[in-house]
Amino acid sequence: MVLTVLMNAGPWLSVPPPGYGGIENVVATLVPELRRLGVRVVLASVASSTLPVDDRLSVFADGQFAALQRPYNQVCGVAQAHLNGVVRALRERDDIDLVHDHVEAVGLATLTAMGRDAPPVLHTLHWDLGKHPDLYGYVDGANRVRVNGVSAAQLARAPQALRAHSVGHVHLATPLATTERKSPVEPGDHVVILGRITPGKGQHVGAQLAHRAGFRLVLAGPVGPYHRPTELSAAGDAARHNPDVRYWYEQVAPLVDGVRVRWVGTVAGRDRDELVASARASLFPLCWEEPGGTAVVESLALGTPVVATARGCLPELIEHGRTGLLAGAADELPELVHTANRIEGNECRQEAVRRFTPRVMAERYLELYDDVRRLAG
Ligand code: UDP
C-alpha cells in the first residue's frame, strides 16, 4: 500500500526557501527522498512553493516571513489561518494516512484538537523546548499525535508532557552530503558564522573573539526579516521592535567594521556553499542549546571543520578532534579557531556522507511513521 503523507511546512516561506529557511530546508531535503522511497506527499505550504510533490494545498500566495516581526499573538494568527486550511482539507479528503507537521505549537495544538477526525500526526519539534515549557503542555492524552526531536539533547530538555509522546529523534540532513563535490574552492583565511542573526547563535560573541584573537569573520544570515544590509537600513527605527533587530543594533553592529568583521546578509545557493567551503572553520559560538543545527551538518558536507561551544546537539553531531573542535566555554574558542587546520576536511565530508544524507533521514522518518500509525491503533 502506498503511504500518503500530508507534509505541513507552514506559511512562513516557500519550499525550497529562497535563502535562509530552517524548517523549509528540512522539508525540501526530506520530501524528494521520501518520494524516491515510494511515499505520496501532499505539501501544505504557500502557493509560491516550487518543490515537486504529488499534490499541494495552500492558504497564502507567498511566504509570510515578514509577519514574524509582529507581536506573538498576530504571528499565531497567521499560523492559525494556514492551519485552518489544513484542517479543512483533512475533513474533505480521505486519502491522508499521516500528517507530518512542522508548525511550532499552533500546529500541534490544532491537530490535537481535531481528535479522532485527524489522521495520526507526527509533529517535529524544531526549537529549544527548555525555553518554552508551557507552550506544549496540551498534548496530554493525545494518542494519535506524537512528536519527534531533531536531537537527543533537544528532547532531553523538553517538558515531560511532551517527552511522554515522543517517538525519538532524527538528526537533520543536507543534500550537500550526496551531491558530487565540485573542484575544490580556493581556501580563504576567513571564519564564517552562517545562520539567523539572533542572540542564541552568538554572533556578538564571535565578533568579540574575532577582534580579540585577530581572525577575519564573515557573518551570513538575515536579521529578523531583513536579508540585506540595505533593506535593514531602509526600514529605519520602526524595525527595532523586532528583538533580533534590536540585538543587531545593540550588540553586533558596533563590532562590524567591514574589515575584521563583515555582515554579507543572507547568502544562497552556490554563494553560500563557496563561502562555507572556503572558510578555515564554521564557528558556532552558541548562547543557547542548539536544537538541530542544519548549518553544522552542511559545514561537514562541505568539508569545513566546525568550531563550536559544546551546547545542545553539537556533541551529537561533532566528534571533538576528528570532525571539529568543541569548547566548554566561549573563551576557549580563539585557540580552537587557530588550530582548526588540524581537522581533515575529508574526514568531515565522510562523516556527512555516512550520517547526514537525505536518505538516512528519510529512512528514519519512515520508521517513525510506522511507529506513529501503530500507536494510533
Ligand atoms: N541559511 C542560508 N543562508 C544564510 C543563512 C542560513 O541558506 O544566509 C540556511 C542554512 O544553510 C541552513 C538554514 O538556513 O540550511 C538554517 O538552519 P539552522 O538549523 O542552522 O538554523 P535555524 O533553523 O535555527 O535558523
pLDDT of residue 141: 62
Q: Is 32 helix (H, G, I), strand (E, B) or coil?
A: helix
Torsion (CA) 91, 97, 100, 106 in degrees, nearest 10? 20
Residue 55 CB-density burial (10 A; 0-12 exposed, 13-18 middle, 19+ buried): middle
Which residues are bridge partners to 284 per DSSP?
308
Whose cell is 523538553? That residue is 158
Q: What is the pLDDT of residue 162?
A: 86
Each residue's pLDDT tens digit, 289-303 = 999 999 999 999 999
The pLDDT of residue 183? 59
Is 113 exposed, middle or buried (CB count within 10 Å of its CB: 0-12, 13-18, 19+)?
middle
* Mean predicted lDDT score pLDDT of the chain: 93
How many whole angstroms from 290 Cα to the centroid of ligand 1?
12
AA identity, residue 127: W
87's CB contacts (< 8 A; 6+ apart) are 110, 111, 114
Flag residues of the chain having pLDDT under 70: 132-135, 137-142, 181-184
Q: What is the C-alpha separation between 146 and 108, in angstroms, rounded? A: 9
Closest atom, ligand 1, to C-alpha of 276: 11
Instruction: Name the closest-CA residue to atom 9, ligand 1.
Output: 20
Residue 345 in 3-state DSSP? helix
Residue 363 burial (CB count, 10 A) = 14
Nearest CA to ligand 1 atom 13: 22
**CB of 49 shorter than 6 A to ligand 1:** no
Residue 64, all three cell numbers: 509570510
Count CB neighbours of 354 within 10 A: 10
Determine which residue's CA is closest to atom 22 belonging to ligand 1.
22
Atom of ligand 1 nearest to the CA of 296: 20
Element spanning 358, H or E: helix 358-376
Distance from residue 346's CA to the centre of ligand 1 (Å): 23
> How far is Cα 4 from Cα 368, in angstroms, rounded to an integer?
14
- Which pairing describes strands 216-220 and 121-124: parallel, antiparallel, or unpaired? unpaired
Report the alpha-carbon distance of residue 11 to residue 60 in Å, rounded.
7
* Helix (H) / strand (E) containing 169: strand 166-169
221 lines ligand 1 (CB under 6 A): yes
Name the residue at shortest CA distance from atom 1 of ligand 1.
Answer: 20
Tell me the domains of the chain and their CATH numbers: 4-173+357-376 (3.40.50.2000), 176-355 (3.40.50.2000)
Ligand 1 pocket: which of 14, 23, 25 to mutate (most atoms <8 Å of CB)? 25
Q: Rounded to an integer, what distance in angstroms lies between the CA atom of residue 38 and that of residue 179?
A: 21
Identify whether the C-beta of residue 9 lies closer than 8 Å to the C-beta of residue 126: no
Which tens digits make up the pLDDT trace of 6-47? 999 999 999 999 878 889 999 999 999 999 999 999 999 999
Tell me the DSSP string of 289-334: --S--HHHHHHHHTT--EEEES-TTHHHH--BTTTEEEESSGGGHH
- C-alpha cell read off for 107: 500546529
CA angle 303, 358, 4 (to 5 degrees): 170
Gap between the Cα atoms of 272 and 262, Å rounded: 15
- Of all atoms in ligand 1, which is nearest to the CA of residue 265? 8
Tally of CB atoms within 10 A around 1: 4
Judge if the beta carbon of residue 272 lies within 6 A of ligand 1: yes
Minimum CA distance residue for ligand 1 atom 16: 22
Check if 267 has its Cβ closer than 6 Å to any atom of ligand 1. Answer: yes
On whether the CB atoms of residues 304 and 322 are closer than 8 A, the answer is no
222 C-alpha vs ligand 1 centroid, how far in Å? Answer: 9
Residue 102 in contact with residue 10, Cβ under 8 Å? yes
Q: Which residue's CA is the nearest one to ligand 1's atom 17?
A: 22
- Please report the pLDDT score of residue 5 as a whole number: 98
Number of the ligand 1 atom closest to the C-alpha atom of 21 = 14
- Please work out whether the CB of residue 299 comes within 6 Å of at least one atom of ligand 1: no
